[in-house]
Amino acid sequence: AALAADGASPAFTLDRSAPALAPDMAAQALVWPARTWSLSTLSEVQYSRWEHDGFLVVPDAVNRELAAAAAAAIRAFVGANDSQPSSWYRNTLDIYRDRAPGGAMPHHGPCGMVQLFHHASLWAIRQLPLLHGIFSDIYGTRALYVTVDRAHFKPPQNDAFPDWSDPGDVHAGLHWDIDTRRQAWPIPFAVQAVVYLEVALPACCAGIVRPSSASVPT
């Protein structure tokens, strides 16, 4: 199963048929700061990749002890037991549409999102100086504050558990997490990150990224 501390709040669906924007129009569409600061954590090569691709993978940004603690907290919260893989698929309610007995919103479901926000293991990761340094290099300032996001537990699809093949309307397909329509231009500069707490094989990986050549729907 892929576990992650996730910063996503899905919104707008990606139109993969839309043409890529010309450079002059792209400059009007979004705010991308021109770097004037020195780097404290990222290398020049890493920053160049970030500028070129629009995303960056930073290996070993979180030490294994902290990652393991957060992964254990997520498993306990969703009731997952690795010695019983069927337990990965126990939660089948849609976290947005359905309600648990008593009227509460489900804490986990087939979309994979886990409504776990304030566990100490998650805060230990959020406050890592290394992560602060990475974001400081990207934003060009150390005056940053911590956002509170949730976690993710998404087991591989399994024909024996068909409910988990449908992530629900909110998470179906690719999507933007911000309004990219022309009336929202210029899109503000904002960055999300996902911390993978364990090795995620391609068949289990919950994240999909597109390079800077990806089109922006209008």
> In the structure, what pLDDT confidence band is assigned to residue 211 with cuts at 50, 70 and 90?
low
The C-alpha atoms of residue 158 and residue 165 are separated, in whole angstroms, by 8
3-class secondary-structure state, position 201: coil
What is the residue whose two structure tokens read 């926000």?
A: 117
Cis ω before 156 (30° cut-off from 0): no
Residue 5 has pLDDT above 90, yes or no: no
The C-alpha atoms of residue 10 and residue 12 are separated, in whole angstroms, by 7
- What are the angstrom distances between the C-alpha of 107 and each of 2, 79, 99, 213? 17, 11, 10, 36
> In the structure, what pLDDT confidence band is assigned to residue 128 with cuts at 50, 70 and 90?
very high
Long-range contacts of 144-148 (CB under 8 A, 24+ apart): 147/7, 148/117, 148/118
Task: Give the global pTM.
Answer: 0.83
When pLDDT is averaged across residues 154-163 and rounded to a whole number, the result is: 92
